[in-house]
Amino acid sequence: MWHKKIKNVKNQLKCGSLNQDNTKLFKMKYKILFLIIGLFSCVLSNAQTRGCTDKQANNYNSSAKENDGSCTYNKTSYKSKIICSKLSDTLIESSGLIYFNNLFWTLNDSDNPPILYAFDSMGGQIKHQTVLSNNSNTDWEDLSQDENYIYVGDFGNNNGSRKDLHILKIKKSDINLNVSIDTVNTGKIRFQFGDQSVFNSGSQNHNFDLEAMCLINDSIHLFSKNWADLKSKHYSCPTDTGFYNLSPLETLETNGLVTGAAINKNGTISLCGYNISNGTSFLYLMWDYKNNICLSGNKRRIDLGTVFHNGQNEAVCFKGNTLYMSNEKRIADAQLQRIEIEQWLGIKSALNQQINLFSSYCKDHELFVAYKAIENPVAIKIIDSSGKTVFTQSNFSGELKLDVSSWAKGVYTFEMEGGPNRKIIIE
């Protein structure tokens, strides 16, 4: 249809069958016609290139050039690897988790001392404590960080009645790791939910509990724990101290209670949580989104099995592209677990790379161990045949040489954080 009209106009102009005024009019219509066709083609082209771009999705569109957030996935299950089966008895309610200065850091939730604890990943032993001065722990629920600050979320709101929601802000440079216990001052970021008008104390039938946050592009992003509809509302809050009225950006269909959040350097967000009705725990992964709106990208739920294996999972953090998760001591001991998420993101497994960088051998009563990933140290330990730990080191990279002349002959187990166990024979 369009090409016939264009051909007709061209013929009339060529044959000179139009007078001067009509010629000008037709030329104008000719230009407008081409403009309309161009705009229509542009819109049509954009419509044809948007779609699901993830090859692992069950609705992958090979012709799509731009992700439109429409990807859907088959049910996915995964069993996490337990790195440390029992954290220190002090860490009975581990509700937040970050990896900072080659150690994992956590906190206990409501009505516990206002202290951050740094612990080693395999032994679960506390290596450092930071006391937050002039602050109580009303209901600490999550930890996050950026390059210069650590953020503590005192915003647990089980009954939906709190009006003192806030986030504590700590300068990393104020933390003194040369002593076992130090004290720091904090700033305070206060906020309220702009969409909350009812504050009913004593009831969990509401959508304004909060236990999860992470830093996205210089803002704090909060993910609610909705008791009423098992969804999660996504809010954004500035990192500057002050008071803010927050409105939800979007609502995520998490089908469970969200208890922790983390983000890696590539922008992949992970939410952890559990479904109280059936006793299962889950991860919710989000990536390839735009303008900090998670619904614009990929969203994949990973079922982690029952809380009898994972405990009541309360916190997650990234170490590189690998995810770690901790839990409260309730159904299971407080423990640290590792989850390899690269398989769902199309990234080469960090675990396989880690294994390839490791080597060990024993010669002339000396044990030689090498791990080449100097920028990513790991925890290691060696256990004898009776189950006794004979050597441990929290942050190992490079090379290690041990004199084993006094060790009993036999088979020893070498454990590396996240990697498979290795057998070492001392003769």
Quote the tokens at residue 126: 């506390």
177 contact partners, CB below 8 Å, separation of at least 6? 101, 118, 128
Answer CATH for 76-346 from 1.10.10, 3.50.50, 2.30.30, 2.115.10:
2.115.10
Beta strands at 358-363 and 166-171: parallel, antiparallel or unpaired: unpaired
pLDDT at 2: 47
* 136-166: pLDDT as tens digits: 999 999 999 999 999 999 999 999 999 999 9
Q: What is the mean pLDDT of residues 170-183?
A: 96
* 37-89: pLDDT as tens digits: 555 555 544 555 899 999 999 999 999 989 999 999 999 999 998 888 899 99
| CB 417 within 8 Å of CB 121 | yes
What are the start-end ranges of the E strands in 72-197?
76-77, 81-84, 94-100, 103-108, 115-119, 126-132, 140-145, 149-154, 166-171, 181-184, 187-193
Question: Of 372, 305, 369, nearest to 337 (Cα)?
Answer: 305
The secondary element (H helix, E strand) that includes residue 192 is strand 187-193
Q: What is the mean pLDDT of residues 167-171?
A: 97
Q: May I ask the CATH class of domain 351-426? A: mainly beta
Inform me whether the pLDDT recorded for 13 exceeds 50. Answer: no
pLDDT at 185: 95
d(CA 104, CA 102): 7
Question: Of 66, 11, 1, nearest to 36 (Cα)?
Answer: 1
